[in-house]
Structure 1
């Protein structure tokens, strides 16, 4: 497969050859050298025809029958029928159309190419002797680097300075700079638009957000050329219609030049030129909105989606348990219950322990070192903190180890679908810590936007507990919900929904990868999420902003509408011109100029998908 730059250079050369042949031939004809003019026009046609035939053979080997055959027939017929000037004009018009397509594609790819051009190659790292400039590949987690004003942040890291102002528009599409505070994570690929700041490297460059984005963009650019599924549905019929009109014109009139004129008018065709430009324009526009669409086929299918299957954790929720309430009994206050529980949980690696510790630290509570720790994995933990005997765990676990109070008596008013951690201090039940994986604040607006975009069925599919999934579904008014699903169960649900209507699956974890692959369109949340899901998905949200997906849906609908406009208007004008040529009112050379005007019009229309 030729790279886009190589194709652009080849098409530029073919335009130059066809132009030179036409100009030299006209000069020779004006000078009375008709023999020379004939050979000049033939020389301007043959290279374009040879390149076209090679392209047709390659396409036929892939099983693709395209409208390039019409262009080859018109040039071949012009040479065979002794109309070299018409053949040269067609060659120039065709090569010029292909050149214009390459130019338009280059403009349309601008946003995706811009992503690749922003990669940082070096960083200023603090060392024993001061700052040193090192390749980003040499950075390791824990290194401290200086990010100067105007520099692209090379790796993901935590802000070590008091504050920073960064521009994340390359990934989010949002042009307003974002203020970061000390300790907050700063993503690679963003630009420092404020004062210089220090950053502590969170992960190696190869694992950073932006490195993954670049890899996914390259994968999209190296994949098959933009889908022409729309063109495939029309190409064979337009080819047959062209041959029928050309054959009828020759048979009825007995004038083979009329058949040639019909072939010339049909070449080049809006299906060949406008569709790739419209599709690439849409892909580029989506990339500017922070959504990477890997292929034209995915963009086209995105416009047809009627069912959306959503994972819960990390998609509609943040995927992290946070404290929503602390219920206490007797003399204990909420902060002290949390401090003692979090202090003891420092000895546990349970995911809930991480949530308690993080919440205590955010509240500025001073944690103590636990001693005499004993943990029953998955049930609870017992130990001593500041001379007190503390028990943390499930309600049944804590009640069995307490002499006073009952954790279940404190559960009144706890919302369904939330998790609770019971805490006992010195044999007395002190309180309940209520945890919930909070629904994203933009989740409800996202689902409303889905419905406005024509999605009439929403399904929640999650591996989480059924009651938790059901609670989220009720909160967001989702049509159907399934919980406690294995990856195989998710695949089965996706396949069942796909059999009913075009279906999109939105997920972010490794366990979502099989379901994403099974859906008509798989959408992965965040380029730094599971590598398996982002590799498998057809669409990747470059940052975890759900509203960007609604922008991509709008882009897909608009791109498909513009592509169909280009097809129907372009083909309609071409068919009218073919009929005029069949009646002898449009000679071959004039027909080529008319068709070129049609092609330019539909390409300019296709570029509207960029806006």
Structure 2
């Protein structure tokens, strides 16, 4: 492993040293030729530098030719060869310097565009403090087995998923959920890797190994996206093939009509914009990593391109437009001996050990009010009906109302003492985001498995023009998307549940909210949004559109400038050396333009 790291470092350093070496060789050869009149020595030095600098280009071009891939590198090799044949060693060396310098710029740009992945990886400690019978030891994160007890100090990132052993903990989960407020945890609660310990030293019992941790899965998603190849990049490859054919045809015509190798050479020199074409993946990679900074993970590069062209977006309701959790809307007390806060303490005391969504809602509400649950005995949950238990000799029951949706009845010794009304509230930004998407010309749909009346109630708080389908099964959602695709509409499905997985997989782009650990929805999706911020949907679309705009600018502007320069050279108005320098300027400008996709858009 150390040998591999050493070789990697040598290759990286050589990549940056080589352009300096070639530039020095070029200046020295020019000095030998024009200042000291040592022409033979100047040509020898140039030829040696050309061979050293073009070796990698030659090797990669032969490999691409064997794979039947066509690229602009062939033009560069042809131009270099023509330069050597015609005795234009200095110009040929400029072309080599241009290609090597372009590769170095691309490598730098790709590293800069991928900084978010590096930051993701660097957040986790590589060594962990593990408790053993012999005491506390330091152990590599990759070697910590399930069931280990590890120590996390204040201000440290939690390295592995596990159960909290300490009595309490205060955790910053913003890196995973986007939630700005710290979350209080109690013994037995699950802690997720990648979150931050804001409280005192805590002890955690690991439940997964490093490769299966929640945070490592996020890193894997980003790496998958970076290793993918978008159709737009394939389009760039195709355009490079046509550009190669155009160049060869133009160069052939110039030589046929003028019989001038010098003029033909000038055409070939300016037709070597390999870094220009490769600026396209830099722009797209920059967009992917810019999205990652906003907790949006593109699992495939192709998703970014397609999302930029989406014409119809389909939303699930629960957990997507709404929070997906029942929140207390109102408490109606029917017994004057009780206050609302006491009702909450009783209800939480019954529900605190339940897995029902109402339990999470009560816990959330009581934490906000800093209320403690009452301690019940003989608690018994009756599936589909409610829960009951005893407190200080009284029998309490929480029952589902048969008359009104999401209403729970609280009874003491068989007598009603309060109603608790729950509601799945829309996310605060839902209406604003949907309206912004409509302004972008995107057709909006809601496919939900919820009842029609409840879906219509939600629709009242959203912009006009949204098409609604309620009571949808997973198959009906899938069929609805299929119909939109048959209308030649590029579709995006946004959901978060297991029932959304078939629709997410069928849509041209599937976008899933991943609130906690990976689910069937996030596995089926092309884009994963960490947390529950609905603003992230608009951010994903905006970043995609901007990145593709920059990518197209980089590709088409560069090609147009190169073709214009070739025409000028074909008529003899652009010497080979000037053309090489001009092309270098174009390539550098286009690459730096592509880097804009890695930056936040200025207001």
Other-structure match for 1:322: 327
SS in 2 for 1:74: helix
CA distance in 2, matches of 1:392, 1:440: 28
Contact 1:25–1:41 under 8 Å retained in 2:
yes
Partner of 1:463: 449
Deviation at 1:95, TM superposition (A): 1.3
State TM-score, norm by structure 1.
0.80
Q: Please, which of 193, 202, 205 is the counterpart of residue 198 of structure 1? A: 202
d(CA) in 2 for partners of 1:511, 1:341: 30
Q: 1:441 aligns with which of 424, 428, 436?
A: 428
Residue 343 of structure 1 contacts residue 367 of structure 1 at CA under 8 Å; is this kept in 2? yes
Q: 2:505 aligns with which of 517, 536, 539?
A: 517
Whole-angstrom distance in 1 between the partners of 2:107 and 2:343 = 66
| 8 Å CA contact 1:165, 1:178 repeated in 2 | no
Match of 1:73 among 36, 60, 78: 78
SS at structure 2 position matched to 1:324:
strand
**1:339-366 C-alpha deviation (Å, 9 max, x unpaired):** 6666666786655566567767874341
**Cα distance in structure 2, aligned partners of 1:129 and 1:50:** 57
Q: Which residue of 1 aligns with 2:124?
A: 119
Residues 9, 133 of structure 1: CA spacing in aligned structure 2 closer, same or farther, 3 A cutoff? Answer: closer
**SS of equivalent to 2:460:** helix
Residue 220 of structure 1 is matched in structure 2 by: 225
Per the TM alignment, residue 423 of structure 1 is displaced from its structure 2 partner at its CA by 4.8
Classify 1:118/1:600 alpha carbon distance in 2 versus 1 (closer, same or farther; 3 Å): same
The SS at the match of 1:585 is coil
* Structure 1 pair 135–79 and aligned structure 2 pair: CA distance change class (3 A): closer
Distance 1:548 1:357, change over 3 A: closer
Report the 3-state secondary structure (helix = DSSP H, G, I; strand = E; otherwise coil) of the residue aligned with 2:593.
helix
Deviations 1:40-76 (A, max 9, x none): 4343334554533443454456665333332233223
| 1: CA distance, partners of 2:581 / 2:455 | 62
Alignment of 1:305 onto 2:310: yes
Q: Tell me how far apart the structure 2 counterparts of residues 196 and 433 of structure 1 sit (CA, whole Å).
A: 37
Instruction: Decide which moves more: 505-514 or 246-255.
Output: 505-514
Q: Deviations for 1:348-402, whole angstroms, at most 9, x for unmatched residues?
A: 665556656776787434142237x584x43456777665566554445xxxxxx
Query: 1:260 offset after TM fit, Å?
Result: 1.5
**In the aligned structure 2, how far is the partner of 1:232 from the partner of 1:389?**
74
SS at match of 2:99: helix
Alignment correspondent of 1:415: none
User: What aligned pairs does 1:343-492 form with structure 2 within 5 A after superposition?
Assistant: 350-352=356-358, 363-370=371-378, 375=382, 377-380=383-386, 392-396=398-402, 408=403, 411=404, 418-423=405-410, 425-428=412-415, 431-452=418-439, 454-477=440-463, 479-492=466-479
The Cα shift of 1:570 comes to: 2.4
> What is the DSSP-based 3-state SS (H/G/I as helix, E as strand, rest coil) of the residue aligned with 1:318?
coil
Which residue matches 2:559?
571
Instruction: Say if 1:298 and 1:521, in contact at 8 Å, map to a contact too.
Output: yes
Count of equivalent residues: 583
Residues of 2 paired with 1:13 and 1:242: CA distance? 31
Mapping for residues 122-161 of structure 1, pairs under 5 Å: 122-124=127-129, 133=138, 136=141, 138=144, 145-149=151-155, 151-155=156-160
Assess if the C-alpha contact under 8 Å between 2:279 and 2:591 holds in 1: yes
Q: Mind listing any 5+ residue stretches in structure 2 that lack a counterpart?
A: none
What does residue range 461-610 of structure 1 map to in structure 2 within 5 Å?
461-477=447-463, 479-499=466-486, 500-526=488-514, 528-610=516-598
CA distance in 2, matches of 1:360, 1:587: 78
Residue 261 in structure 1 maps to residue 266 in structure 2: yes
Residues 5 and 509 (structure 1), Cα distance of their counterparts in 2 relative to 1, 3 Å cut:
farther
Give, in whole Å, the separation in 1 of the partners of 2:288 and 2:302.
10
Distance 2:118 2:306 in 1: 23
Structure 1 window deviating more from structure 2 (584-593 vs 464-473): it is: 464-473
How far is the alpha carbon of 1:488 from its aligned partner? 3.2
Give the C-alpha shift of residue 293 in structure 1: 2.6
The CA distance in 1 between the partners of 2:171 and 2:395, in whole Å, is: 46
Give the match for residue 405 of structure 1: none
Secondary structure at the counterpart of residue 314 of structure 2: strand
Q: Shift of the alpha carbon at 1:572?
A: 2.9
- TM normalised by structure 2 equals 0.81
Shift of 1:592: 0.8
Mean Cα displacement is larger for which, 84-93 or 589-598? 84-93
Question: Post-superposition shift, 1:492?
Answer: 2.7
2:277 is aligned to 272
Q: Which consecutive unaligned segments of at least 5 residues does structure 1 have?
A: 397-407, 412-417
How big is the shift at 1:581? Answer: 0.9
**Cα RMSD between the aligned structures?**
4.1
